[in-house]
Structure 1
Amino acid sequence: MSRLPISLPSALRKVAGIAVTVTAALLLAAPPAVAHPMPHSVLLLDVHETSVTAELDLPVDDFSRASGIDLTDSTAATLTKRTPAIRTYLAAHLRPTTLQGKAWTVAFGDVALSRTQQTSTGLYRELTVQATLTAPSGGDTRHFNLGYDAVIHQVVTHTALVSIRQDWAAGHVAGENAATQVGVIRINSRTMKVTPLTINLENGSVWSGTYAMFRLGATHILEGTDHLLFLLILLLPAPLSAARNRWQGLANTRTTIHRVARTTLAFTVGHSLALAMSAFGHLDIPAQPVEVFIAISILVGAVHAIRPLFPGREAVVAGVFGLGHGLAFSLVLAEMNLSSTQLALSLAGFNLGIEGMQLLLVLLALPSLIALSRLPRHATLRNTCAALTAGAALGWLLDRLGVPNPVARAADSAGAHTSQLFLVLVTAAVLSALLTLTVRRRGRAVTGAGHEPGPPRTPVLTARGVNKASQQGG
């Protein structure tokens, strides 16, 4: 038998050496590894009757590589100079058409740079571009082809996620739901082409949009801590009578209910008028003065709960301050760019949602307000609630004047606990109603036992539930 030209151990050593050499060469030649997945582009679409507005969120590094427009070190000044080039590039790569192939009109708006992050990507710079896609005559904004290959035509691993942010006719309104993804645009690995994405939305209706706005109105008043707090603090002294610039004595239950109803109705009329005038008059009102006005209204209401500033005129004050709150509500509608018909229906639905939730919360709070006013230490409890409200109002006022503070953040965070707030109001209402009924039954039992009826007195709840006449001052 002839001997092998090389021994087995030597052959194994040579193979191992070759494997190590090849592996090292591949590692040295490979590009540096990244710590996070690369970010993708995002297209957010707002569907209207005759047009679709789009927000394009593009990673700066990939955009610069694909377009040849260097934005890696751009500032606001340099971005302004490069905006025409950015729009020209995107115009060549954003081509919506009807299903029959008829081109839409595309107009680009604001361009901005920011820092953001996606899941597992870490922080990165993002280019945001606003665009309006207008359908041709006979075109359908619910069924069309979205031709888009910006960045993807050069960076073949890049993808673009397309989502619907607002679709009023389908009951999907911005601010109520998260955006709904409808497709992904990427390069076809076999043909190396980017196929247009077909947008095929379900048929909408005016009732879907109106009901969505009703839900949004109800959610807005429930989560709008400042609006709710203003109304409740203005109602806090409703069961009391004022004399010599102090809260002294109690009003009867019927008078209390009438005051609450008048104040609530006046607030409703005030903010409904402002909401309608602002929406249909297309008033361009800055948000900051409106928010400052609301903070001041809450502060005034808190002071009034401690010392009467306008006793008997709470309804007038609620109506005046309601105008400012209505302007704040209108900011929600102004951002939706609705048609006249959609705006009218949205205004009705949104307002009904606000009023329905507001009425429910007032009805839940009313038993507690009446029961609270009849406790032995109701003045201390009322003043404590008013002081806390005043502190929140001052925090909001400073924050809206440009001075961030933890008080404002804490007050705003209360709106995130709507379920707990609703549960507390329901529990307090039930307990207050039961306590009031128990005391009245005991009072009738005492009267029926042979006690001489004295002059009319307002019952006060004590720890034992015994009726007493109260002239306790505030």
Structure 2
Amino acid sequence: MTGPRNWLTTALRWVAGIAIAVPAALLVGASPAAAHPMPHSVVQLDVYAHSVSARLELPVDEFTRAGGIDVSEKTLAARTGAIRAYLVAHIHPTATDGRTWQVAVGRLTLSRAVQTGTGEYRELIAQAVLTPPAGADVRHFTFGYDVIVHQVVTHTVLVAVRQDWAAGQVDGEGGTQVGTIRVDTRTMKIPALKVDLGAGSAWRGFVAMLRLGGDHILAGTDHLLFLLILLLPAPLAAAGGRWNGLVGARKALARVGLITLAFTAGHSAALAATALGRLDLPARPVEAFIAASILVGAIHAVRPLFPGREALVAGIFGLGHGMAFSFVLAEMRLTTGQLATSLLGFNLGIELVQLLLVCLALPSLLVLARLRIQPALRLTGAVLTGIAAAGWLADRLGLANPVARAADSAGTHTTLLLTALAATAAAAAAWTLLTRRAVQQPVAPSIRSVDHRRPVL
């Protein structure tokens, strides 16, 4: 007959297997999203304190028909001046009092070619800066625009706001549609689009940055892995260059707290200094440093490199992670006041979610450290983390690889990973509890062991 202990042993093995398999599955490449051509133009607006940036996505075929300018990989460089002149002539934002905004067209690129049933589809991507006259409001203006539409009457232009800090829109994804520009078939004219973005407020910007900070740590697989890989051996004792035995629960909790606090202090200080100082740091060395820190942490989880000094290492490596966090703020071109508010909200969002994740992972780490299969689970987690870190390091040094892409996609599965850890810990705790009860319960003597001198009736 199968007892509760055997049943729980089997269940634990299944759950532990899931906990091992989930990180492995996260390192399998995700399917790329299929691109599809759009039969219209898109104008995405980024609203700043004193200007508006516009990203224009223009179908090449229709742009060539409307402007009479041949655009291809071979001709783009030679046609840059003509393309910019055409765009400036057909973009006319004006203030509410009728004054004209300045329009400057910058970088021009071509999207990747997409094969369709009717041939090859490409888009011309143009970046423009729209600057209002002195005293004009960037949140209320008239957007006169007839690129392509003035010649191709069936063409449609979708206008959306991609980023607007004062309205609480900071993630740069999706966008809030402002309106549509097309030929009015009744008058055969192209009405200008009235843009009204509302008043905006610093509170909306703060809340949006708070949310963005939380989302960033959840999707930032590298930041999360670095912290968790340092916490993984926290309940273990080091002796003779190996992890051997356990420390007390109080000491383990103190280690976890110090590591988390040091990492927080390190990246918070670097984030504040880099953002407020508006330091223009190269992204690739910083990102490579982060990958190297994760690789070091993974090796440390296999063999202790700096036992007892994990907090110091977390603080030092946290400086690099904070510099990476600052890249998010640098792209927003905020005023000093907006930057200070954003820094507070963004960092607070990071810390709140980081604390939540540590609290969710802590019970699993403490329980798993006391299992016989702890070395296998620790080594598996360290090896998978090391593989991801090596992939990131190679990618950030210029060697693109599928391991890095798969590791990046793992950021969407953070909840699944923590759920597997929690399930493993819960099963292990139940098994340990029932095992102790079975040991403590007195065993009833058999009839034959009562008195061997008496006959059994």
- Residues 302-311 or 330-339, more deviating: 330-339
Aligned-pair identity in percent equals: 62
1:166 aligns with 2:163: yes
TM-aligned CA deviation for residue 227 of structure 1: 0.9
Aligned counterparts of 1:183 and 1:118: Cα–Cα separation in 2? 29
- C-alpha distance 120-38 of structure 1, shift in aligned 2 (>3 A): farther
Which ranges in structure 2 are unaligned for 5 or more consecutive residues? 1-35, 443-457
TM-aligned CA deviation for residue 439 of structure 1: 7.3
| Equivalent residue runs for 1:158-237 within 5 Å | 158-175=155-172, 177-237=173-233
Aligned counterparts of 2:242 and 2:256: Cα–Cα separation in 1? 20
- Equivalent position to 1:88, from 85, 88, 98: 85
The residue identity in structure 2 corresponding to 1:88 is: A
* Number of residue pairs the alignment of both structures matches: 407
Aligned counterparts of 1:307 and 1:54: Cα–Cα separation in 2? 52
- Equivalent position to 1:105, from 78, 102, 109: 102
- Equivalent position to 2:328, from 315, 332, 337: 332
The corresponding residue for 1:378 is 374
- C-alpha distance 430-51 of structure 1, shift in aligned 2 (>3 A): farther
TM-aligned CA deviation for residue 404 of structure 1: 2.8
| SS of 2:341 mapped into structure 1 | helix
Larger RCO (CA within 8 A; separation ≥ 6): 2
| Contact 1:299/1:389 (<8 A) preserved | yes
- Equivalent position to 2:241, from 245, 249, 273: 245
The corresponding residue for 2:138 is 141
| Equivalent residue runs for 1:29-40 within 5 Å | 39-40=39-40
The corresponding residue for 1:43 is 43
The corresponding residue for 1:398 is 394
The corresponding residue for 1:354 is 350
The residue identity in structure 1 corresponding to 2:389 is: A
Aligned counterparts of 1:318 and 1:284: Cα–Cα separation in 2? 24
The corresponding residue for 1:65 is 65
Aligned counterparts of 2:38 and 2:246: Cα–Cα separation in 1? 67
- Residues 116-125 or 212-221, more deviating: 116-125
- Per-residue CA deviations over 1:238-267 (Å, capped at 9, x if unaligned) read 111112211122110110111111111111
| RMSD of aligned alpha carbons | 2.5
- Per-residue CA deviations over 1:211-238 (Å, capped at 9, x if unaligned) read 1111111111111111111110111111
| SS of 2:334 mapped into structure 1 | coil
TM-aligned CA deviation for residue 82 of structure 1: 2.1
Aligned counterparts of 1:121 and 1:265: Cα–Cα separation in 2? 58
| SS of 1:58 mapped into structure 2 | strand
| SS of 1:155 mapped into structure 2 | coil
TM-aligned CA deviation for residue 434 of structure 1: 5.8
| Equivalent residue runs for 1:259-274 within 5 Å | 259-274=255-270
- C-alpha distance 280-120 of structure 1, shift in aligned 2 (>3 A): farther
| Contact 1:174/1:336 (<8 A) preserved | no
TM-aligned CA deviation for residue 425 of structure 1: 4.7
TM-aligned CA deviation for residue 81 of structure 1: 3.1
When Rg is computed on C-alpha atoms for both structures, the one with the higher figure is: 1
- Residues 191-200 or 38-47, more deviating: 38-47
The residue identity in structure 1 corresponding to 2:244 is: Q
| SS of 2:190 mapped into structure 1 | coil
- Residues 323-332 or 417-426, more deviating: 417-426
TM-aligned CA deviation for residue 362 of structure 1: 0.6
| SS of 2:124 mapped into structure 1 | strand
The residue identity in structure 2 corresponding to 1:393 is: A
The corresponding residue for 1:281 is 277
The residue identity in structure 2 corresponding to 1:334 is: A
- C-alpha distance 171-260 of structure 1, shift in aligned 2 (>3 A): same
The corresponding residue for 1:128 is 125
Aligned counterparts of 1:119 and 1:193: Cα–Cα separation in 2? 32
Aligned counterparts of 1:371 and 1:38: Cα–Cα separation in 2? 53
TM-aligned CA deviation for residue 163 of structure 1: 0.6
| Contact 1:365/1:429 (<8 A) preserved | no
| Contact 2:364/2:422 (<8 A) preserved | no
- C-alpha distance 123-345 of structure 1, shift in aligned 2 (>3 A): farther
Aligned counterparts of 1:275 and 1:415: Cα–Cα separation in 2? 21
- Residues 54-63 or 281-290, more deviating: 281-290
- C-alpha distance 37-328 of structure 1, shift in aligned 2 (>3 A): closer
- Per-residue CA deviations over 1:134-169 (Å, capped at 9, x if unaligned) read 122232222110000111111111111101101111
The corresponding residue for 2:33 is none
TM-aligned CA deviation for residue 198 of structure 1: 0.4
Which ranges in structure 1 are unaligned for 5 or more consecutive residues? 1-35, 450-474
* TM score, norm. by length of structure 2: 0.83
The residue identity in structure 2 corresponding to 1:376 is: R
Aligned counterparts of 2:335 and 2:421: Cα–Cα separation in 1? 38
Aligned counterparts of 1:243 and 1:350: Cα–Cα separation in 2? 41
Aligned counterparts of 2:390 and 2:249: Cα–Cα separation in 1? 33
The residue identity in structure 1 corresponding to 2:161 is: I
The corresponding residue for 2:455 is none
- C-alpha distance 429-164 of structure 1, shift in aligned 2 (>3 A): farther
